Amino acid sequence: MEIGLTNVREFEELARKALPKMFYDYFRGGAEDEFTLRENVEAFQRIRLNPRVLLDVSSINMSTSLLGFKLSSPILVAPTGGHKLAHPEGEAATARAAAACNTIMVLSFSSNCTIEEVASSCNAIRFFQLYVYKRRDVSAKLVQRAESCGFKAIVVTVDTPRIGRREADIKNKMEAPKISNLEGLLSVDANAQDGGSNLEAFANETLDPSLSWKDIGWVKSITKLPILIKGVLTAEDARKAVEVGVSGIVVSNHGGRQLDYVPASISVLEEVVQAVSGAVPVLVDGGVRRGSDIFKAIALGAKAVMVGRPIIYGLAAKGELGVRNVIGILKNELEHTMALAGCPTVQDITRSHVQTPADRL
């Protein structure tokens, strides 16, 4: 069933109307001046397409593979916490929608539905995102639960030694969304300090700021699953990630919610791809709002993209159906872009199909 919206941006307005301001601000917001939040979108808009003509595009195939898993398109659902703030069915509805679209969902560590609830909501390939807590036993327990529920990879988020200063959340006195996975494992008495929010106090009480490269070895020691690291923005760190043996890298600035004034993830993607020279797949997220953005990311070397806020806006606007529509629109736009650019398969999308600002100098 269609909702009648023509692009994913339109879901944001529906979500804004559907949500209490505090929750909409939590989903939309970025850190401090929100420079990186805006830049994530604008950097995509500065990349031009170089279409090729007179190629047979009567049939377009968007499928690809990641870590040996077949994907219907190079799109994954990014891990985002607190889906019950958007819709009463929370992550279970998002998971059903992703499964219906043959799309891998990365379940956030900070989800409102438990790992088990999401796993039993439908049958699909899913990854689990991990935050490493000071209480290592708690993080290890969640990895074990994800593994025994059939999740296929662990995505370790490494850009959050502490939480970014999201000023809207501070002004709104936003509370930390309930993390159901922690029930019975951890109770945190987090009190907002002056100039902070309870969300910030909770995160800073729990997250381990001492996490370092050697700890990726610890994550490897507690699971048999492949490990991706999410939050790499430099060639140097990408090389280190390969050295410590990760199976994949997600170029990400956490949707502009962590360190403000870092570059848009799409603008550092290529240097990361070059640094790892094919050793592991590289994914990117941040600012993907059009199928043409996905095309641009693939042309610059990404294996796939992850989509954050548009999924939540779809969920807030229309529940499971809204998420299906958001993924469906992005897939349709990608298919259309591939046809008009002369690329019948994802493998046909190459560096020469895009022009970055640096190319124009």
The residues binding ligand FNR (CB under 6 A) are 27, 40, 78-81, 108-110, 129, 157, 230, 252, 254-255, 257, 285-288, 307-309
Q: Pick between residue 228 and residue 349 the one whose CB is nearest to ligand FNR.
A: 228
Q: Pick between residue 286 and residue 291 the one whose CB is nearest to ligand FNR.
A: 286
Tokens of 135: 């209480």
Tokens of 139: 């993080």
Any residues with CB less than 8 A from the CB of 292 and at least 6 apart, and which? Answer: 49, 333, 334, 337
Residue 338 Cβ, how far from ligand FNR at the closest point, in Å?
21
Is 254 part of the annotated catalytic residue set?
yes
Residue 297 Cβ, how far from ligand FNR at the closest point, in Å?
12
The rounded distance, in Å, linking the Cα atoms of 319 and 327 is 13
- How far is C-alpha 158 from the chain's CA centre? 13
- Pairing type for strands 64-66 and 69-71 reads antiparallel
- Pairing type for strands 69-71 and 354-355 reads unpaired
Residue 202 Cβ, how far from ligand FNR at the closest point, in Å?
12
Q: Pick between residue 82 and residue 301 the one whose CB is nearest to ligand FNR.
A: 82
Residue 54 Cβ, how far from ligand FNR at the closest point, in Å?
35
Residue 66 Cβ, how far from ligand FNR at the closest point, in Å?
16
Q: Pick between residue 283 and residue 343 the one whose CB is nearest to ligand FNR.
A: 283
The rounded distance, in Å, linking the Cα atoms of 277 and 251 is 15
* E-assigned strand segments in the chain: 48-49, 64-66, 69-71, 75-77, 104-107, 126-130, 154-157, 227-232, 248-251, 282-285, 304-307, 354-355
Q: Pick between residue 230 and residue 353 the one whose CB is nearest to ligand FNR.
A: 230
- Burial class of residue 291, CB neighbours in 10 A (0-12, 13-18, 19+): buried
Q: Which of 83, 87, 254, 353 is catalytic?
A: 254
Phi-psi label, residue 136: left if phi above 0, alpha if psi -120 to 50, beta otherwise: alpha
Positive or negative, the Cα torsion across 315, 320, 322, 326?
A: positive
Q: Which residues form the catalytic set?
A: 254
